[in-house]
Amino acid sequence: MSYLSQLTKPTADKPIIMTIFGNSGLGKTTLAASFEKPILIPIEDGTASLIGQDVSIMPRPKSQQELLAQIIELAKEEHEFKTLIIDSISALDTMLVKEVIDSDKQTKKRSLNAVHGGFGSGFSMLSQLHYEIKAYCDKLSKVKNMNIIFISHANDKTISPPDGEPYSIITLDMTKQSIDPYVNQVDIVAFVKLEMMVSDNKAFSTGKRSICCHAVANNVSKNRFGIDKDLPFVKGENPFKEYLK
């Protein structure tokens, strides 16, 4: 059979894998729980906001291996869930940093810079752990047709280009080497933000929230569905519904 005889056309007929990030208290977890039949793996405390919502919560994993075991169980067992939420990958990153450092029993200096021989080995090991988790989630999405949602806190990062002035960008609150699988290897990166106004050189919030998931200069965000403007954030409603399988 030739390769030309196996040509296909682009399709969006598959579950969504996405990252939602923003500052605390803006409703990131509530937004994720608006997806179909959600189950949440809590890496940190923060499920009180879900009281009254139809979402199931798994036990809090204490290690990467426990988290992988939970994902494997979801992939192998029969269940009704259609969306997996991991909340948060910021807390997950902190947990994995500790795992990498604690796995080196020889080095007395307890930092990623120093463990496992130094020269970036600790950061490389951390990155590999995140990529492994992402690969397991990809497999789960494929075999069970489940949406995967990663939730992250936000942090400012200074970019210093060699040919321009330094500038700040809002990105995921994680170790730099951990971010790639949750930004470059997902369908949507959505930044939840408060709408701001300026009066008399003072900024204040209107109390309204919106979701940025298209390319802009001041925060990390993207999508593969042609969304080119901010989406409204209305509690209980899913602004991504029309893009879901």
Alpha-carbon distance of 46 to 29, in angstroms, equals: 8
DSSP secondary-structure letter at 59? Answer: P
100, 122 Cβ separation under 8 angstroms: yes
Give me the CATH code for the 13-186 domain, please. Answer: 3.40.50
Per-residue pLDDT of the chain (245 residues; tens, 9 = 90+): 788 877 766 556 689 999 999 998 889 999 999 999 999 999 998 777 788 788 999 999 999 999 999 999 999 999 999 999 999 999 999 999 999 999 887 777 778 877 877 777 899 999 999 999 999 999 999 999 999 999 999 999 887 778 778 888 999 999 999 999 999 999 999 999 987 776 666 766 677 899 999 999 899 999 999 999 999 998 888 999 887 76
Return the domain boundaries, the chain. 13-186
87, 46 Cβ separation under 8 angstroms: yes
Nearest to 127 by CA among 92, 87, 83: 92
